[in-house]
Amino acid sequence: MKKTLYWLSAMLLAVLTQNCFAAACGPVYGADSIAEDKDGNIWVTHYEDVRLGRLEPNSGRFEEYLPTTQANSAVLNRNDKDGFSYKFDFGFNGLALDDKRGLVWSLIFNSDKATRFSRSDRLFTDIELPGRSFGRFVLPIDGEGNLWILAGPCCGQEGAMQLVKINPDATKQVFQLQVKRAIAPSVAFAKNGQGWVSLTQDDEKQAALYAFRNQRFERIALPAEIGRIITRLHVDAQGDLWLAEGDAIWRLHNKEFKRYTPPTPSAHPSVLADDGRGNLWFTEWRGNKIGRISATGEISEFPIPPEEESPLALTVAADGKVWFSAMFNYELFRLDPATGNIQSFPLPTPGNWSKNASEGLSACVIKPKDALTMAAAKASPVLTKTKPVRHPKGYPDEPGAAAFEQNCHTACHSWYRVDKAADRRSDWRPTVERMIDFNKAAIANEQRELIVDYLNRNYTMAKH
């Protein structure tokens, strides 16, 4: 039990705080960020994928825009031999939309670069940052279209944190925050340019909150009940600041903090979003629910499909429906708060890109499906007791299964995760090779081939 709790804590810290730890646990399936543009299209990024996706919910058309760094855009297969290297191309963190100028912003995973995508000419522009970028899920953008990013040292390195303002034309301005060796940084900005920064310094027992006004930082006193880690900041349409912390959510209104506690014990609220009508929405990382705090303060919870776990990214569309992603799953989910119904949109995976990727764009049509209704969940409570996990095929007699168990099986690379990916995979080789290379695993070539062959025979969409 202690070992399990240790790994769960490690995974939680990796996903919810510093980017530099995230890939060490292997692919964390699910969109890293979701955002809706003015036309009702849903944009997504994945930190494990070098792709920017756009879904038209009504038609089901899904387009992928594929930038290249080490890659050759004319290459169809993503591997070292053909020019695409997983050593450098890990994907994107976070998302911000500038509808007025047709720009889409993100961060290049585990790097010191931000990227700007122009929708008019479909070109990507990289912007260098003064240090490792920190940002997940939602990237803050103000009313003038300026992107705000916290950059600095990572993973034990020395140096100070810096707040970076990136203008729509890709020029930047840097503001020094005299804080060193901090973890769990988060940034939020109001449309009027009022900024907020939270982080935790190594030698402090409580998280720090800073207001950023007139190009100056002012530390704000926090209630004593707020602990060492603030998971996320968010500024709503009314200009109020919201904080996710521990198992609570806090609201700063007229210089006063108010606490809200989700009904589900140990829910661990994480990503925050508002609907512009005074309601705050949030994901429950451990509670496996989507939560809502109404404008009058009531808290409601909506369970995600019972076979899913740990909701990740979240956004509220103009029609009031809530889009979210989940761990270990490439699908997008759409919750209708009026009925509790959830639809899923099965996005394509990296190994199944369309063959017109040589043109720098792949496209497909997605048919949404009902994933869960609240009534069905109540009528079939047995579904929530166990997860439909398929046992390893042929283990321990099958050599490939034994090789995977010996070399790869951990809390991060479990049979459950393999099973979850089976319906969305056609080739496991890129993932296996990337994980071996990234984690510096000493796995002999013979063992690699056994693992890839075994997974491709038993855990792919073609065979399952």
Look up tokens 């009031």; give the residue: 320
pLDDT tens-place string over residues 412-438: 566 656 776 666 567 788 777 766 665
**What is the mean pLDDT of the segment spanning 280-293?**
95
Q: Do 337 and 233 have their domain in common?
A: yes
Can you tell me whether residue 83 is helix, strand or coil? Answer: coil
Task: Indicate whether 193 pLDDT > 90.
Answer: no
Q: Do 373 and 404 have their domain in common?
A: no
Is 228 within a domain?
yes
Q: What share of the chain is helix, strand, coil (3-state, %, to 5)?
A: 20, 35, 45
Q: Do 328 and 408 have their domain in common?
A: no
**What is the mean pLDDT of the segment spanning 381-392?**
40
CATH number at residue 276: 2.130.10.10
pLDDT tens-place string over residues 33-52: 999 999 999 999 887 667 78
Query: CB neighbours of 298 closer than 8 A, spacing ≥ 6?
Result: none
> Alpha-carbon distance 275 to 279, whole Å?
6
Q: Do 203 and 338 have their domain in common?
A: yes
Is 4 within a domain?
no
Q: Do 352 and 439 have their domain in common?
A: no
> Alpha-carbon distance 78 to 353, whole Å?
10
> Alpha-carbon distance 188 to 194, whole Å?
9
Query: Which tokens is 422 given?
Result: 């089976």
Q: Do 421 and 354 have their domain in common?
A: no
> Alpha-carbon distance 319 to 329, whole Å?
25
pLDDT at 6: 34
Cα dihedral sign for 426, 427, 430, 434? positive
Query: Which tokens is 111 given?
Result: 């790097």
Is 37 within a domain?
yes
> Alpha-carbon distance 72 to 81, whole Å?
11
pLDDT at 315: 96
Query: CB neighbours of 344 closer than 8 A, spacing ≥ 6?
Result: 305, 331, 332, 333, 334, 368, 369, 370, 371
Residue where one domain finishes, among candidates 328, 350, 381: 381
Contact in structure between 7 and 61 (CB atoms under 8 Å) = no
Is 73 within a domain?
yes
Q: Helix 445-458 and helix 399-407: axis angle, to 10°?
A: 120
Is 394 within a domain?
no
Is 390 within a domain?
no
Q: Do 279 and 414 have their domain in common?
A: no
Is 464 within a domain?
no
> Alpha-carbon distance 418 to 432, whole Å?
11
> Alpha-carbon distance 91 to 49, whole Å?
4
Q: Do 110 and 233 have their domain in common?
A: yes
Beta-strand runs (E) in 129-274: 132-134, 147-152, 160-166, 172-180, 182-189, 195-201, 208-213, 216-220, 230-235, 241-245, 248-253, 256-260, 269-274
Residue where one domain finishes, among candidates 326, 347, 381: 381
Task: Indicate whether 108 pLDDT > 90.
Answer: no
pLDDT bin (cut points 50, 70, 90) of residue 19 is very low
pLDDT bin (cut points 50, 70, 90) of residue 260 is very high
Task: Indicate whether 16 pLDDT > 50.
Answer: no
Q: Do 154 and 118 have their domain in common?
A: yes
Query: CB neighbours of 138 closer than 8 A, spacing ≥ 6?
Result: 33, 35, 94, 95, 96, 234, 271, 273, 313, 315
Cα within 13 Å of Cα(10), Cβ side: 14
Structurally, how many domains does the chain consist of? 2
CATH number at residue 441: 1.10.760.10
Largest CA distance in the chain: 67
Q: Do 49 and 163 have their domain in common?
A: yes
Q: Do 292 and 422 have their domain in common?
A: no
Query: Which tokens is 231 given?
Result: 């998971």
Is 207 within a domain?
yes
Note if the pTM is more than 0.85.
Answer: no
Cα within 13 Å of Cα(164), Cβ side: 25
pLDDT at 75: 39
Domain that holds residue 451: 399-458
Q: What are phi and psi of 336, to 5 degrees?
A: -100, 105
Q: Residue 133's beta-bridge partner residues?
A: 151
The mean predicted confidence, pLDDT, of the chain is 77
Where is 245: in which H helix or E strand?
strand 241-245
pLDDT at 155: 55
Say how far residue 285 (Cα) sits from the centre of its chain. 12
Q: Do 421 and 314 have their domain in common?
A: no
